[in-house]
Amino acid sequence: MNHLLESKRALVTGGSRGIGAAIAKRLAREGAHVALTYVSKPNQANDTVKAAQAFGVNALAIEADSADAKAVVAAVERTVAELGGIDILVNNAGIGVIAPIDDYRLEDFDRTLAVNLRAVFVATQAAVKHMKTGGRVITIGSCNADRMPFGGGAVYAMSKAALVGLVKGLARDLGPRGITVNNVQPGPIDTDMNPADSDFAEMLRKQVMALPRYGTTDEIAAMVAYLAGPEAGFVTGASLMIDGGFTA
């Protein structure tokens, strides 16, 4: 283990399962103390905390709905209080409601923007008050910001496309303070929400992907760990695709 993040303090929103859990564990493996937020299933959150602690770091789970701006700020403040600061913020929490335009509910529209976009701004605004030079803000976007090859995904795609502009602007705001801001855009990843053995996955592999397989959560976590580390100090304002050729 390289321990490139030795003694860094990180917060991963939506970190109890899937991509978020893989990120939390990878940052811990690299030596970072980790806090993660979750909305439901505290057992999964606690399992991820225990897996992180196995690497000899401090870890904690915080119940916080990313649609609630006050809860997001409180999660940042608790991270700072319990870990002694914050050096890395990973805005991973996200939702996707897929439905045709004629059936799309306004409440789903509002919640999608609240979780996928507003929470990123709110968490970043709260976290950078405590960050010093070398701080890292990393957002988990989606390849659907660049390509939405099926119907019903307009609102989700919009929310992820908006992150690209937000990240570019925040990189300008925070660059003079030595804080980098970047966006990771995963393609189809094997999770319980999007399993690689589904009929939908089979269609993507045959018709959409350049590499005929789903990605793994560990592959996304590796990209995040690179951006969080010292070797990525000159990378900012970037949206980095890791999609198996979904957008090729």
Q: How far apart are CA 74 and CA 78, in angstroms?
A: 6
Identify the pLDDT of residue 195.
Answer: 84
Helix-helix angle 154-174:119-128, to 10 degrees: 20
Identify the pLDDT of residue 158.
Answer: 98
Query: Is residue 248 assigned to a domain?
Result: no
Query: Is residue 246 assigned to a domain?
Result: no
Q: Is 28 a residue whose pLDDT tops 70?
A: yes
Identify the pLDDT of residue 200.
Answer: 82
Mean pLDDT, range 42-56, rounded to an integer: 97
Q: Is 131 a residue whose pLDDT tops 70?
A: yes
Query: Is residue 3 assigned to a domain?
Result: no
Average pLDDT, the chain: 96
Q: Is 208 a residue whose pLDDT tops 90?
A: no
Mean pLDDT, range 215-235, rounded to an integer: 98
Identify the pLDDT of residue 187.
Answer: 95
User: What CATH number does the domain containing 100 carry?
Assistant: 3.40.50.720
Mean pLDDT, range 197-211, rounded to an integer: 86
Give how far Cα 199 sits from Cα of 149, 195, 202, 244, Å. 16, 9, 5, 18
Active site residues: 156
Query: Is residue 112 assigned to a domain?
Result: yes
Q: Is 235 a residue whose pLDDT tops 80?
A: yes
Report residue 206's pLDDT band, with 50, 70 and 90 as the boundaries. confident
- 32 near 58, Cβ under 8 Å? no
pLDDT digits (tens, 9 = 90+) for 59-71: 999 999 999 999 9
Q: Between these two residues, 194 and 14, which has the higher pLDDT value?
A: 14
For a pLDDT cut of 90, what percent of the chain falls above it?
90
Query: Is residue 123 assigned to a domain?
Result: yes
Identify the pLDDT of residue 2.
Answer: 74
Query: Is residue 146 assigned to a domain?
Result: yes
Query: Is residue 106 assigned to a domain?
Result: yes
Domain assignment of residue 234, given as a range: 9-241
The count of C-alpha atoms lying within 13 angstroms of the C-alpha of 138, restricted to the half-sphere facing its C-beta, is 32
Query: Is residue 177 assigned to a domain?
Result: yes
Number of domains in the chain: 1
pLDDT digits (tens, 9 = 90+) for 3-13: 999 999 999 99
Identify the pLDDT of residue 192.
Answer: 81
Identify the pLDDT of residue 1.
Answer: 61
- 65 near 71, Cβ under 8 Å? yes
Amino acid at 217: T
Q: How far apart are CA 115 and CA 203, in angstroms?
A: 28
Tokens 């913020």 belong to which residue?
A: 89
